[in-house]
Structure formats: structure tokens, C-alpha cells
Structure 1
Amino acid sequence: MDPSTYKRYHIHGHDTRQWMDHYFSDTAEMVFGEDVLVFPIKCLIKAFAAGKIKGDILLDISHGSVIHHLYSACECFKDIIVLKVDDRCIMELKRWVDKRTGAFHWGHAAKLHVDIEGKSNLLEDKDVKVRSSIQHVVKCDLEKENMTEPIVLPPADCIISVLLLDVISKDQDDYIRYLRKFSRLLKPGGHFILIEGLGITYYTVGKEKFHAFNHDEDFTRKALEREGFIIDECNIHKRTAVSDLVDYKAMIFIVAHKT
């Protein structure tokens, strides 16, 4: 397929449930668990356990309706505000938050968290804590100066972005432009946690292929530093999954703070 025909996530949208089934479920066919669940969850637990990343408001600006990264974050922030680019993502997330029939099952991610933390007895508390921490789910328009117009968000103590910058950006300039918009939502001294794929050019949902921006660790570091961030931690996890659904070469986890 000609890459120029690939769809764009924030423009065309896709079936968020099918995307999560492909890449985040607990089925036998889901081969990405080590890369997109175990690796970032281990990194997040370690990062939050250090006690430096905390505050009142956490903004989650991520791809689809994933919540696995919030199991650690919810312990360190009073309120979580989730920004989504499409109505389907909002509906899917609210279905889980409201415990409606047919919501995506995240039990395997919660179990990973408590097992890694050595707190298996707290498994039932994990979902309750995340649900109660998610105070607002807000639709955003990435092209507007104020992405949440007419709502004006308070400056965040921390932003987490999972697998979003690389799928909304068509090139280097786009990536930096969106990163700058995210940065404006963050307090000086606030933390930015970035989880994304490296060396990726496409991902598949159903029978459709979607564009992803191919970049490496060096570009990612320089983009953050150029926008006034100091990188506190950077971990790289080389791909273990065998699948042609997506072509990333590695996963990157970065914690940085805004000067």
C-alpha cells in the first residue's frame, strides 16, 4: 500500500475498541503485551515511586481510550483530566469509567501493576482508584490555539502522552508544533511523560492502515530539549512482538520536566 494513502488517526478516526483488541487485550493472539503493557508499566511504577512526580492535576493526552498508564499515576494526583480527539474514544472511555456493560476489560493491566508492585492484595482497589481520579473527559481539537476551547484548563502538574504524538504528526515540524501545544498546558517545573514507538511508519486497525511519523531517540530528545524540557529519564525497549500489524522498531519511555 502506498504510504500516502494511509489514514490519519485524528482526521479520519478509527474503531478504538478494535485498536485496543489488536494491541492491548489479554487474548492469546495479542502479541504486544511485553512491549506496550509490561515495559511502560514497569517504567511508570519506578518513576512515580521516586516521589518527585506528583501534584493536583494530571493531564492525559493519549491515543485511543487506553487507561493502563493511569494505574500508577492516580496514586500521585488528586484529579486526572483526559483529553480525547474523537467522540468514539470518549464514549469508549466513559463506558469503562461508568462500569457499563461491554466496557473494555483492563483487568490484566491492573494485575500487572499490583504484581510488579508486590501488592496483589490491592487488585480490587486499582480500578476504583482510577475511576474516581478521572474527573473530566474533554474533547479537544489539536489544531486550535486553545485545544479545549471554550474550556480553559488550569495548568497541569504533569502530562502523560501515550502513542499519540507519533500518530498525529506527519513530519518533524508537525511533531514539534504539537509538542509545543502540549507544553503550554504544563506548569513550569511540571513533568512530561512520553511513551511512544520509534522507527514506526504505520499501524493497522482492521483492514485499514494508518500513518505514523518515523523518528528515533535522538530526534525525540532534541525535540524535547528544544522546547525547554530537561530529560530526567529515558528508557528504550527493543521490539519483541512478531506481527505485521505495526512496524515500530522499539518503544521509548521518557520523563522530562519543564524549565
Structure 2
Amino acid sequence: MIANLSIRRLRRVPIASILFLAIFLLFILVPLYWMAMTSIKPSDDYLAVPPVWFPANPTLVHYGAALFAYRGLTGLLNSVIISTAATVLSAFLGTLMAYSLARFNTGGQHLSFWVLSQRFLPPIAIILPIFLIYRGVGLHDTHIGLVLAYTVLTLPVTVWMMYAYFRQVPRSLEEAALVDGCTRWQALWRVAVPLAVPGIVAAAVFAFIACWTEFFFALLLTSRNAFTLPTVFRAFIGFQGALYGESSALSVVSLVPSIALGILVQRHLVRGLTLGAVRG
């Protein structure tokens, strides 16, 4: 009797797991599918009853309107430039800060947590002073101004993530490099950084996604020249209704860089996220 019950439980576990995964995939993929289909639907199919799951006459007119009529292409290029520059700068500065905290205990035991605590501050509490400073020094509506703001925004999390990775790198490897004649900078760039590449990549991906999807700073610190892709979506909602096709088309376009980045760095990203999770 007990043996039969155990066998039944073992048989139910895979079925339950598969069912759970199937529901989870539907929960994730169905909205993406609906968004992609809406981007190629004619306007008459948006609110059709029953719903149109695949349009009979697909069109790309919404992509053209979103990218050119509503300057979505300009916003896309600005987002690529600003997010990439802010990510590189955040990764570079975060690497130096995290290494200093991990190896030299810079600032004592609480400085690393203080750096992370800066991310707890709500952006709305600091946006007005930043806006006034930017207007005063000429950084408002510039790529450089938004890059600096995004770097400050993402640096705390970047430092915290890399700090954990550098602590996993054995000190003996760097000490051996120093004994062989390397300077401290050479030990950092030739030994510590290559070993911490998965962590650096994971932190950089998180920084890029944070910059790519950020809306509040971009809305208030830009206007006509340095506006990013998320701020373009506000043009699709008006008093007469929403432009579902254009917003869906631009959403599909905005997903491409993130998906491509995830595919390119998938191996390093998985290693970086799991590094240090199991300690012997």
C-alpha cells in the first residue's frame, strides 16, 4: 500500500512540474505574442469580437509610423548610445570600486552597504536638484547629462554585485602575480578581472537593462534632442484614444536589443548569477 502511494507520488511530480512550466510559459509568451500580432494588425482588428489571433491582412504600417512619424528611430538610437555609454562607465567604475572594497576594505566594514543604500533613495527626491543643476551647467537635454545620471543610478548595484564576485577570487592568485613582478594594477587587470568576468558581465547586463527601461529621468532631463525610447510611448496615448498598433510595434523593436544582449552573454550571465551561490 505504502509502496503504491510512493510510486503514485513520484509519477505525479513530473506531471505537476510540466503543468506548472506550461502555465508559466503561457503567462509569459501569450502577452508577447499578442503584442507582436497587434503590431501587424489593421486598425479594425484591435477590438474585434471574437479576438483576431492572427490578422488576415498583416501590415507593417505601424512600424513605419512609430519609427519615423513619432521619431521612434531617433529615440532608439539615443537609447543605444546613452545606455551603452552608461553601462561601460558604470562597469569600469564599479570594477575599481568593488575591487578596492573587496581587497583593501576601503572605508571599513560599512562602506559597501552605504554604497548600496544610495539606491534606496527614491529618484523623485533628487530629480529636482539634478534638473536645476543641469539647467545651470548646460547638461539638460544632452547625451552626456543622461549618461552621468544613469551611471550614478546604476553604480550602487553594480558595485555591490562585483564586490561579491571579487571576494570569491582567491587572493593567492594575485599575490603570486605580485611575487612574479606584476604591479598591483597589472594583478588587477591580468588576474582578478579575467576571473571576475562572469560577475562583471552580469552586473553590466543589469545596468544596461536599467538604463534601457528607465523613464523618469529621461522624461524630466530631456526634451527634443536626447530623448530615449521609453519617453516616445507617451505620444501614443491621447484624448481620442491609444495607438495600439504603433505602441506594440515600438515595443517589439525595443525588445530586440535586450534579447540579443541576453543571447550573446548568456554563458557569462548564468555563471555570474550563480557565482558564490554554493560555498564549500
Q: State the TM-score, normalized to the length of structure 1.
A: 0.21
Q: Which has the higher helix share?
A: 2
Q: State the TM-score, normalized to the length of structure 2.
A: 0.19
- Structure of higher RCO (CA pairs closer than 8 Å, 6+ residues apart): 2
Q: Which has the higher strand share?
A: 1
